[in-house]
Homo-oligomer: A and B are copies of this chain.
Amino acid sequence: MTMKIGIVGYGNLGRGVECAIRQNSDTELYGVFTRRDPATLKTLTGASVYSMDDILNHKGKVDVLIICGGSATDLPVQTPALAKHFNVIDSFDTHAKIPEHFANVDAAAKEAGKIAMISVGWDPGMFSLNRLYAQSVLPDGKDYTFWGKGVSQGHSDAIRRIEGVVDARQYTIPVDEALTAVRSGANPDLTTRQKHTRECFVVAAEGADKAKIENEIKTMPNYFADYDTTVHFISKEELDRDHAGIPHGGFVIRCGKTGLNGENTHIIEYSLKLDSNPEFTSSVLVAYARAAVRMNSEGMSGCKTVFDVAPAYLSPKSAEELRKNLL
């Protein structure tokens, strides 16, 4: 029997989930739930579209909902509300607010006897797992997370808010020298500036003061002031032609010592190189949606994160097959 997945919210992430479901033969798309008028929404695969207002009428027909809203305002409301009625999963990624989100969602999911998985994706998600595994295996060490090369939507948006800017795209880039130093096992102390650079492609309005825009970007607190930032002014055509993708990725590296006197050094490195940030996140969400349904069918409930999911739950293969062919 295939697992019926509902998608809540139809942006880049929702479309990614729609595609990922087609790659997993044990899952099927039940439909998309939207706050827009369903009649106006055309999906990539011709999936059914329903109004969010009617979602409770679908109780019992959907095995799990993948909530594809934003972390700022959508998920803090939607995930606990929907966990009262469905198994749910989200990609909540405001790291500092995870404990608060967990508490809200856990209460709702426990009361309903449902599984609610939060903060699933690659960071938080696969990167978090690799930090946990590496720290547990090499307690005497230090780990580093680098992001990029990839597009930061938050930084791109920050540039777009500057007067005279028509459009912009910002890439976060890990510094090669820093990666090399970490991989050497030297466990260096690295400043923010030493770890990443920021490269910006900006379309300025006609007649705009480019020097002023560049200065505003480079001195912007939190976003750019602590980094070495490069600004390139390009045409709207160039931006659309050369910077339409949403690539991302990064590295989690831990260096640790073992032996009677720490005489041996070990390096664990995990890296992602992603053509499409939302599509990869969607693929992680679908694997964890499978786990959520299975864990709930075994009687588990409450809020879970990637730390709470035994890896076998993620695979459509049987335990026997996994042991025989993957172990």
Contacts and interface: CB of A to CB of B under 8 A. Distances in A.
A19 B257 CA distance: 11
Contacts of A275: 258, 264-266
Contacts of A102: 323
A280 B307 contact: no
Nearest to A101: B323
A310 B312 contact: no
Interface stretch (A74-82, A136-144, A146-154, A230-238): A136-144
Interface residues of A, number: 69
A65 to B, nearest CB: 20
A120 to B, nearest CB: 10
A326 B145 CA distance: 11
Contact of A309 (B124, B131, B310, B320): B310
A280 B264 CA distance: 9
A283 B327 contact: no
A191 B247 CA distance: 32
20 contacts: A23-B140, A45-B260, A99-B320, A124-B327, A129-B311, A130-B270, A132-B322, A136-B314, A258-B275, A258-B276, A258-B280, A266-B272, A266-B274, A267-B274, A269-B271, A269-B273, A305-B323, A308-B310, A308-B311, A308-B312
